[in-house]
Amino acid sequence: MLKTAALVVLAIIAVLLVVIVTRPATYRVQRSTVVAAPPALVFGLVNDFHQWAPWSPWGKLDPSMKQTYDGPTAGVGASYFWSGNDKVGEGRMTITESAPPERIVIKLEFIKPWEGTNVTTFTFAPQGEATQVSWVMDGNHTFMSKAFSLFMNMDSMIGKDFERGLAQLKSTAETAVRERAAAAAAAPPSIPPVAPALAPPVVPPTALKPDAPVTTPPAPAP
């Protein structure tokens, strides 16, 4: 009886291992939204990690989170390190590609609570006066993450964060557009400079009568 039960348990474990091993080796999470703002404006909010605070879906999960910026202010080489509570963990983001105002690629490194490296891509496509923003994350599954994916769908788990982040990015960008429009409307109209008056040209006396004969004074009487 015990031997039979042990064999059943081993069979279940074997089947479970096979299921885990045959899970997809990679995963992708993708979300998009349309923002009523020009691509250059939205691009700037992503290309500079200092501009992430108003819209990042993870920034408010730990008010005391440690944040460090390294490299250039924006663009390729800009880096952002964070370390916080269990909700945000610890990791680093580094911009590896920046093509204004169309595409940004970020190397995303997780350190805690688990280690992993993913690639995050933002694309910005003009749609009239608006911009379609797509946020994509591609990653590789480890054995543990494959097992985890049996009980938790990566797309639904991370996709919710992407949706919240894109909604906040949309709000931030569209607020900036309204503020700029209000500032432009309140600014006094610019008055073009008045060109200085030109003095009349000076005409030499000889040029007044070019055909006048030249007279020679008479010689004195002897």
- Rg (the chain; Cα; Å): 35
% of the chain at pLDDT higher than 90: 55
Number of domains in the chain: 1
Backbone φ/ψ region at 43: left (φ over 0), alpha (ψ -120 to 50), beta:
alpha
What is the structure's pLDDT at 123? Answer: 98
Whether the per-residue pLDDT at 5 is higher than 80: the answer is no
- Confirm whether 209 is domain-assigned: no
- Confirm whether 205 is domain-assigned: no
The Cα 133–Cα 38 span in angstroms is: 11
What's the angle, vertex CA 46, arms to CA 44 and CA 47, rounded to 5? 65
Q: Comparing 6-15, 64-73, 192-201, which segment has the lowest mean pLDDT? A: 6-15
Instruction: Name 188's bridge partners.
Output: none
Which long-range contacts (C-beta less than 8 Å, at least 24 apart) are formed by 139-143? 139/26, 139/27, 139/28, 140/25, 140/26, 140/27, 140/116, 141/23, 141/24, 141/25, 141/26, 141/27, 142/116, 143/20, 143/21
- Confirm whether 61 is domain-assigned: yes
Q: Comparing 7-11, 104-108, 124-128, 138-142, which segment has the lowest mean pLDDT? A: 7-11
- Confirm whether 201 is domain-assigned: no
Q: Which two tokens stand for residue 128?
A: 């009239």
Host domain of residue 92: 26-181
- Confirm whether 93 is domain-assigned: yes
Other beta carbons less than 10 A from residue 203's beta carbon: 8
What is the structure's pLDDT at 39? Answer: 98
What is the structure's pLDDT at 142? Answer: 63
- Confirm whether 45 is domain-assigned: yes
Q: What is the pLDDT of residues 27-81, one digit of tens each?
A: 789 999 999 999 999 999 999 999 999 999 998 889 899 999 999 999 999 999 9
Sign of CA dihedral 144, 145, 149, 151: positive
What's the angle, vertex CA 83, arms to CA 77 and CA 84, rounded to 5? 145
- CATH code assigned at 171: 3.30.530.20
- Confirm whether 203 is domain-assigned: no
Q: Say what the pTM is.
A: 0.75
Q: Of the candidates 23, 75, 26, 28, which has an alpha carbon nearest to the alpha carbon of residue 49?
A: 75
- Confirm whether 12 is domain-assigned: no
Instruction: Name 107's bridge partners.
Output: 94, 119
What is the structure's pLDDT at 149? Answer: 56
What is the structure's pLDDT at 187? Answer: 83
